[in-house]
Amino acid sequence: MLESGSGFQTEHNLNISGGSSRSLYFLSLGYLRQNGLVAKNNYDRYNFVLNLDNKLADNLTLRASISGKTQKTEEPRGEIDMSGMIGYAVREGPIYAGRKSDGTYGYQDNYCPEGWLDSESFRKDKSNNFLGSIDLIWEVIKGLTLTGKAGYNYNNYTYDNFIAKVIFDQYKTVGPNSLDVNSGDNKMVTLQFLTQYNKQVGDHSFNILGGFSQEEYREDWHSGSRKDFPNNLLYELNAGSKSSMASYGSATEWGLRSFFGRINYSYKDRYLFEANTRYDGTSRFPADRRWGTFPSFSAGWRLSEEAFIKDNIHWIDNLKLRVSWGKLGNQNIGNYPYQSVFNLGQNYSLGGTLHSGAKVTTLANKNISWETTKVTNIGLDFSILKNRLSLVVDYFDKTTSDILYGISVSSVLGLTPSAVNAGEVKNRGFEVNLDYRTKIGSVNVGIVPNISYIKNEVSKLANLEQDIAKGLFVSHPLNSIYGYVADGLFVDNNDISSYAKQPYGAEPGFIRYKDISGPDGVPDGVVDPTYDRKILGSSFPKVTYGGALYADYKGFDFSVIFQGVSGLKKRMGSYQAYAFYNGGQIQKWQADNRWTKENPNPNAEYLKLTNLTMSSGTIQTSSFWIRDASFFRIKNVQVGYTIPNSITEKMKINRLKVFFSGDNLLTFSDYYKGWDPEMGQATGDQSPFYPLTKVYTFGLNVSF
């Protein structure tokens, strides 16, 4: 078992605000310290925010905002990172000793999480962020405002990874020690100019906005590494062997320029209309495909302002219909895929000597352009009972076209093709938000539930119907799981001989894959990967829901936040799902519910115990290993008490509140026992993960 950390967290925040009628300020300082569940795993963050608002003249305002944070993460590591260490701790069986009394360690293969944790190995990540912006707002005449904005965002980071030389025992030493150092920075400069005009003419209201914006981004990074340090306490690059030194570095930059406009119109605050348009140009596309136009329109009708409702149905406070359509563009597709770029580090041999070289490894796509998303939305806003009950319902139809997709090609080409605008994905569904607030005696109570349903499907994929490796299938959801249909477990050898021929060496107690089709479209007695696999589900949820319950009474307050998802499937990672996989261990549920010769249950929860390897046919993707990952979770519970003003006034305090909060307290799910369905689980050998934590917080809020 890995040595555990305390999991203790502490957070402190200080807010100061003040000013005069012409000048306001706000300052916030914060510190967060988190100790992880694994020893030597810590996180520290310092942050600040300063906002200034100054009225230079009656019609001229200057606003400035700066914020920054510095954060540091420390993790233990060995030949793999901390998540991998946890994965191998899950794999390591109880037959392997941890730290022995003589100071040596038990180990499996080259892996010893306990030895790694005790070693001088580490990963240290440090980063700093600064964000500054300034706005100058000039009201030229009544209703006409000019605004100039400038922003600067700067980040720098260092990632240091040191792997110590570790002696497990007299027979096993893992080394040599090594150090990797990575550093870099990135910055974005944003400039924006806005012109806004507001005008009221009788019952007609107009708001017109036009503007220009520009973004410039650049990132530089460098890395270096060496091995064979004199000992595990010297981990600066210069202390390592020069014979193993290596260095790398590169840079990337892009720019985006936009012109945009918006018109809002309202008649008697009853009929509403808005039109927007953007004209965006990016450096990431070739000159003849660089610019894109992206319009949007919306309209609203407040029926509750019509006389037939306002004068006759008094319990309706608000009833509004909305409809909108818009087109958006996405240019975040990597840097300059339309250019033929030489990749360095392509070494070649000449005269028996290795020389550095460069070559084109990616086939450029000269026709690449914007991804586009078209969204249609129809909505209803409804509130009654003096706004105690509110309902918001939305139906949406979202189609993302020209999605950049990397088409698989034969290696004979010798080049990797760039992505092409070849995919299309549709999302249709609805969202419902309810808000009910009332008072029962002296108790204020409320419930705020929400639910959304999404039907997701890939509607176009170049000229293909499916890409199995990427989980993409036309007319099916993203993240589709494709595999065999399990038909229980084989009972005995007679069962094997009388059943369809399997695509692996079947044994009693192994999974029966169903023969669902053949070359002629009907079952042919042979289970074949071409004809007998199908869509088994998707890890894209159909239904997402959540909400909050709250109440307060004479200074006491109580709230519960919950969330859940439904309609998704997941396949667990290797060591979590398979007993004895690649020398891994067994879990109790596998031992208690397995198939045995004495009880050859074809519907047993787990198959016959055997040493499963990466090539074992019975662990191929099939419905046997797929689980319903739907869950309902109590995300947060908070109880607080605000000290009465009669007491705090004597203490010269404006407000004093004490509270207790608990996060991730309960989860209800039929997923694998002991595993969290919300976590991303890899299917590879290490199956890295970090356990979900329950967090208990005791806090104090003080305002002076």
- The answer to whether residues 167 and 173 touch, using CB atoms and an 8 Å cutoff, is yes
Residue entry with tokens 């079947």: 506
| Residue 300 maps to a domain | yes
| Residue 428 maps to a domain | yes
- 512-546 CB burial, b ≥16 within 10 A, e <16: bbbbbbbeeeeebeebbeebbbbebbbbbbbebbb
Predicted local confidence at residue 337, as pLDDT: 63
Predicted local confidence at residue 219, as pLDDT: 96
Predicted local confidence at residue 685, as pLDDT: 43
Predicted local confidence at residue 342, as pLDDT: 57
Predicted local confidence at residue 684, as pLDDT: 45
| Residue 445 maps to a domain | yes
- The answer to whether residues 304 and 316 touch, using CB atoms and an 8 Å cutoff, is yes
Give the pairing of strands 486-489 and 480-484.
unpaired
Predicted local confidence at residue 471, as pLDDT: 79
Cα–Cα dist 562/665, whole Å: 10
- The answer to whether residues 701 and 657 touch, using CB atoms and an 8 Å cutoff, is yes
Q: What is the mean pLDDT of each run of 10 residues along the chain (704 residues)?
A: 77 93 95 91 97 96 98 91 80 84 89 90 97 97 96 97 94 93 97 97 96 97 95 92 91 95 96 97 89 97 93 93 95 67 63 64 71 96 94 97 68 58 90 96 96 94 80 88 95 96 95 95 94 92 96 95 93 81 86 94 94 85 92 96 89 90 93 79 52 86 85
Minimal CA–CA distance to 91: which of 80, 100, 102, 104? 80
Predicted local confidence at residue 275, as pLDDT: 98
Give the pairing of strands 362-363 and 416-417.
parallel
- The answer to whether residues 221 and 183 touch, using CB atoms and an 8 Å cutoff, is yes
The residue count for the chain: 704
- The answer to whether residues 47 and 701 touch, using CB atoms and an 8 Å cutoff, is no
Domain span at residue 384? 261-478
| Residue 9 maps to a domain | no
The total of structural domains in the chain comes to 1
Predicted local confidence at residue 347, as pLDDT: 67
Which own/partner pairs from 526-531 qualify as long-range (CB within 8 Å, at least 24 positions apart)?
526/500, 526/501, 527/484, 527/500, 527/501, 527/502, 527/503, 528/503, 529/503
Tokens for 369?
């352009």
Q: What is the CATH number of the domain that holds 390?
A: 2.40.170.20
| Residue 265 maps to a domain | yes
| Residue 309 maps to a domain | yes
Predicted local confidence at residue 109, as pLDDT: 82
Predicted local confidence at residue 352, as pLDDT: 66
| Residue 504 maps to a domain | no
Predicted local confidence at residue 598, as pLDDT: 94
